[in-house]
Amino acid sequence: MRAFIAQFKRELRGLLLSPYAFVLLGFWFLLNGFFFAYLLRSPAVQNDLTLLPPYLFGNGLLVWLLLPAFPPLLALKLLAEEQRVGTLEPLLTAPVRDAAVLLAKYLAACVFFLVFWGGVAALFLVLNLHGAQLDWGRVGCGFLGAMLCSSLFLAAGLWASSWSGNLVLAAGGGAALNYMMLFVPSLLLDAPGRVGTFARAAYLPGFLDQAFAAGWIDSYAIALPLVLSALFLFLTWLRLAARRMLA
């Protein structure tokens, strides 16, 4: 446990002090600010501000464009960067389990991603300060869904990051994987039989749109990203074990 905490602190501190992470954060705030302002100009939202959370966190640009791309860009710092610089060998020969190292890295990245969401939350607070009446239940549910989704995309990014010391490949591979998780089910939603059933069961934007952003919490919608995240963490652990065999 002590080793896990040490690694968690190191990763979180590394991200908090990394200029790269803050450049990412800057772009994230900029693009989200733009989307937010764009949505606020919409007559429907101006008439009914309760529509803002579903438009932002649901089936919109944030989910389809930004969310799959940013977590892998952050996750490349976790393993690909270590491989590139040559610090992975000293780390994994220390008396600490690979699983503890991975979990510490992943949780630190998830915690750091809260800063990303904090910026979006600040936009809602500013709106509230200007007297806007918001449905905070919907806003909170929207945030929960988006955070679960970003945790899943971070786990996928971590897996992609474990494959190579090439940062472009790690980020590109992770983003491609995340886009596939969104697009492949969306293309198969109307497919007949089990394929269609499976696609509908794995269609994340649907859950974000119809469950979280609509203001209610579905246990399946919570379990899906958590189970998929666990799967990607397990795959990353396997990848590290295989890397030891082949290094």
Binding site for another protein (CB under 8 A): 2-3, 5-7, 9-10, 14, 17-18, 85-87, 89-97, 244-247
Q: How far apart are alpha carbons 117 and 113 in whole angstroms? A: 7
Nearer of residues 67 and 79 to another protein, judged by Cβ: 79
Nearer of residues 94 and 230 to another protein, judged by Cβ: 94
- Helix pair 98-129, 136-161: axis angle to 10 deg: 150
Nearer of residues 12 and 134 to another protein, judged by Cβ: 12
Least separation, in Å, of the C-beta of 75 and another protein? 16
Q: How far apart are alpha carbons 165 and 161 in whole angstroms? A: 8
Amino acid letter for position 45: V
Distances (CA, A) of 76 to 63, 205, 243: 20, 24, 17
Residue carrying structure tokens 């959370």: 53
Nearer of residues 81 and 209 to another protein, judged by Cβ: 81
Least separation, in Å, of the C-beta of 8 and another protein? 11
SS3 labels along 198-246: HHHHCCHHHHHHHHHCCCCCCHHHHHHHHHHHHHHHHHHHHHHHHHHHH
Nearer of residues 85 and 129 to another protein, judged by Cβ: 85
Least separation, in Å, of the C-beta of 78 and another protein? 12
Least separation, in Å, of the C-beta of 1 and another protein? 10
Least separation, in Å, of the C-beta of 48 and another protein? 48
